[in-house]
């Protein structure tokens, strides 16, 4: 693991400059070296100031987002694809301007529940848009990662196998997968096997409980997931993601179905998640060593 990070929605709904600055400080206080901002709206914030603050605290920034319906690059409608491609280019530039290292999330389709089937043309439109985005990202020094999400949040990439095929169709070697235990728990027959299959194509990883609350209190079987990450020598970043209606960004709450409080106090939540991930990671490393000896 390179850096351990935390989603900003543990701290703030992300609507104000002060909120984002506070989130950077809280993340750093809790020993996180990375923060994820979602749906960053550059017109609302002083990006230079956020970049400087993040640098001073040695907290790296990642931005994630999903596309709105009218800018869905997986559409068969050319104008929506064009609009989405432009939106993604602007998002990449905002990540650069905030000093961020990566743009992730549902960059390849609308974020939300579709009531239509995906189409082959839509898939290829999306692959083309992501290839164009990767071109912009290369110039900006920003990494592109695609979050494989569950069926209720996209109709295009629900499994790691689909994600790998999609990346192949972009024709790029600098586009990677962003995997998430919450989504994998819904869609993958074998989450650990999926991580091994993705291998060096996975460059960003979200740890989430099945109900998005405290890690280890739900139904996800985490040890095999840590084992798989250690097995593939995963050297990129890991981020803890958790949502509660205690801290609400209305649009994200609606699209992700955050209808209730999964926790009240974010301080013990953040402290627990860091300990949980670091301990489980260390245990997985130890298990591999023990296995190698016998």
Choose among 237, 180, 189: nearest CA to 209.
180
CB 102 within 8 A of CB 206: no
Judged by CB under 5 A, the number of residues near Mn ion is 3
Cβ 287 to Mn ion, closest distance in Å?
Answer: 26
CA distance 86 to 79: 11
Q: Which stretch binds Mn ion (CB under 5 A): 42-50, 136-144, 191-199, 206-214?
A: 206-214
| 147 annotated active-site | yes
- How far lies 36's CA from each of 14, 23, 65, 103, 129, in Å? 11, 10, 10, 10, 23
Which one of residues 72, 180, 209, 237 is an interface residue with Mn ion (CB under 5 A)? 180
CB 196 within 8 A of CB 225: no
Which one of residues 83, 172, 206, 274 is an interface residue with Mn ion (CB under 5 A)? 206
Q: Which stretch binds Mn ion (CB under 5 A): 17-25, 161-169, 179-187, 229-237?
A: 179-187
Binding mask 214-253 for Mn ion (x = CB under 5 A): ---------------------------x------------
Cβ 82 to Mn ion, closest distance in Å?
Answer: 27
CA distance 197 to 163: 11
Q: Which stretch binds Mn ion (CB under 5 A): 40-48, 77-85, 175-183, 218-226?
A: 175-183
- How far lies 182's CA from each of 185, 225, 252, in Å? 5, 12, 16
Instruction: State the catalytic residues.
Output: 147, 241
Interaction site with Mn ion (CB under 5 A): 180, 206, 241
């Amino acid at each position: 693991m390179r850096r351990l990070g935390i989603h900003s929605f543990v701290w703030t709904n992300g609507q104000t400059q002060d909120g984002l600055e506070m989130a950077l400080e809280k993340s750093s206080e809790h020993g996180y070296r990375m923060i994820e901002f979602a749906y960053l709206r550059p017109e609302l914030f002083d990006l230079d100031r956020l970049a400087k603050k993040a640098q001073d605290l040695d907290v790296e920034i990642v931005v994630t987002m999903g596309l709105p319906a009218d800018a869905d690059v997986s559409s068969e409608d050319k104008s929506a694809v064009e609009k989405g491609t432009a939106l993604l280019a602007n998002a990449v530039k905002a990540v650069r301007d905030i000093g961020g290292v990566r743009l992730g999330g549902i960059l390849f389709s609308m974020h939300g529940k579709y009531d239509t089937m995906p189409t082959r043309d839509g898939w290829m439109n999306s692959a083309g848009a992501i290839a164009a985005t990767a071109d912009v990202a290369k110039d900006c020094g920003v990494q592109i990662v695609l979050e494989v999400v569950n069926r209720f949040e996209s109709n295009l990439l629900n499994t790691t196998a689909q994600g790998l095929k999609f990346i192949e169709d972009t024709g790029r070697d600098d586009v990677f997968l962003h995997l998430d235990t919450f989504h994998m728990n819904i869609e993958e027959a074998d989450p650990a096997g999926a991580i091994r299959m993705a291998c060096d194509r996975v460059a960003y990883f979200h740890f989430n409980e099945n109900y998005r609350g405290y890690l280890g209190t739900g139904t996800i079987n985490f040890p095999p997931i840590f084992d798989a990450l250690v097995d593939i020598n995963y050297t990129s970043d890991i981020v803890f993601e958790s949502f509660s209606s205690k801290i609400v960004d209305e649009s994200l709450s609606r699209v992700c179905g955050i209808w209730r409080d999964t926790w009240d106090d974010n301080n013990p939540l953040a402290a627990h998640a860091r300990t949980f991930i670091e301990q489980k990671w260390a245990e997985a490393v130890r298990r591999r060593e023990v296995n190698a000896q016998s």
